[in-house]
Amino acid sequence: MKRINDPGQRRPEPPPGFMPFTWKSGRYDDGSKGGVPTQLCPSCDHPWRIWSGGGWTDPGARKAYEEGRARGIVLHGAGDPAIQHEGQPILEHWSRYSEGECCQCGCKFWHDFVGDPWQCYYKPTIGQLALFG
């Protein structure tokens, strides 16, 4: 995935209650010798997660995307110029984000697409919040 570099150094804000984190590296057993490298959930260290959504925090970018899709435009990768906002292909807009969750504990994840590395956040589970006390 292409990293977005915004000249204004803007980044989308995560939803309330989300905390920054860095993915931990791990492996999962897929039957091959040594397993497959992956990133582990910050809540339970489980290797499986699903990315269930995303969008744009900038209302103008969100509207441009929705209008383009309503016209039947299908995007084919981050550099596809078919839908633009602020002079950028919409999939490269600074306000783009993705969200998902852990398949084991249900911990919620959120990340932007700006810079290298992306900024990642998670919403601590009830049990974790008790530990932060």
Q: Which residues pair with residue 19 across a beta bridge?
A: 122
Q: Which residues of the chain fall below pLDDT 70?
A: 1-8, 126-133
Give the per-residue pLDDT at 126: 67
Other residues' Cβ atoms within 10 Å of the Cβ of residue 107: 20
Record the pTM: 0.79
- Using CA atoms, how far apart are residues 75 and 82, in angstroms rounded to an integer? 7
Q: Which residues pair with residue 131 across a beta bridge?
A: none
The two three-digit tokens of residue 53, written as one number: 């959504």
- Using CA atoms, how far apart are residues 5 and 13, in angstroms rounded to an integer? 16
- Using CA atoms, how far apart are residues 41 and 104, in angstroms rounded to an integer? 9
Residues 6+ positions from 71 with CB-CB distance below 8 Å:
none
